[in-house]
């Protein structure tokens, strides 16, 4: 499973890049707003740090507006992926971008039927929001499993990008059911390093080393 970091904060991306396993970045209007900067400036800076897919989301809600805005975003860098909402206009715009060899990330997916439509129109990535499904009592990871089975049935190339990941257990479960990518906040990636037995074991090793060399 590939790792994307879900943020617009340059310092978080720079720190995550040092770990060596972060493959890409996803952003959205809310994350960009937190930076207090323009989307184009933030995306341009991210592309200097991470040599991988960088999702930039359109603000327009109509097909023509999405196409116009997305085409401009795609000019920033070859790694830019145009993020589109899973609406009728978004899916229609997805087809246009696919036909013009521009990568897309169809977001706000909450059902396997929606994921099927995105794949049919050539989406590069589909982003099921598992945490938000869990919030309403549904099973977000089960949706990942359904989409994986569906895509494998028909040989779709669309990658399943598990989004709205809230904690380390989400990461584990998404990897077990076959998500191609997991995108998550900095704090969630950081939490994957942690285990109390690792800390305890390291403390013991250091204590024993200190005694042996005292």
Instruction: Please say whether the beta carbons of 112 and 143 come within 8 A.
Output: yes
- DSSP string for 62-93: SHHHHHHHHHHHHTT-TTEEEEEESSHHHHHH
- The catalytic position among 68, 83, 173, 200 is 83
Q: Which residues contact 122 (CB under 8 A, 6 or more apart)?
A: 94, 95, 98, 99, 104, 158
Tell me whether residue 211 is one of the annotated catalytic residues.
Answer: no
Query: Phi and psi for 208 in degrees, rounded to 5?
Result: -65, -40
State the Cα–Cα distance between residues 150 and 140, nearest whole angstrom: 16
State the Cα–Cα distance between residues 52 and 177, nearest whole angstrom: 24
Active-site annotation, residues: 83
């Amino acid at each position: 499973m590939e790792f994307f970091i879900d943020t617009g904060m340059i310092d978080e991306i720079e720190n995550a890049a040092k770990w060596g396993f972060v493959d890409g970045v996803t952003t959205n209007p809310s994350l960009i707003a937190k930076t207090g900067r323009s989307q184009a400036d933030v995306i341009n800076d991210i592309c200097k740090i991470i040599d991988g897919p960088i999702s930039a989301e359109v603000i327009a809600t109509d097909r023509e507006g999405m196409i116009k805005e997305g085409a401009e975003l795609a000019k920033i860098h070859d790694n830019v992926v145009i993020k589109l909402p899973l609406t009728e206009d978004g899916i229609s715009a997805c087809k246009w971008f696919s036909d013009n060899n521009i990568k897309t990330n169809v977001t706000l997916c909450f059902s396997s039927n929606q994921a099927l439509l995105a794949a049919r129109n050539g989406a590069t990535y589909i982003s099921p929001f598992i945490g938000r499904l869990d919030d309403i009592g549904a099973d977000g990871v089960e949706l990942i499993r359904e989409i994986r089975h569906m895509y494998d049935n028909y040989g779709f190339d669309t990658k399943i990008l598990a989004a709205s990941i809230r904690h380390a257990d989400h990461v584990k479960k998404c990897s077990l059911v076959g998500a191609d990518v997991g995108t998550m906040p900095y704090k969630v990636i950081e939490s994957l390093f942690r285990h109390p037995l690792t800390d305890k074991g390291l403390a013991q090793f250091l204590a024993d080393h200190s005694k042996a060399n005292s």
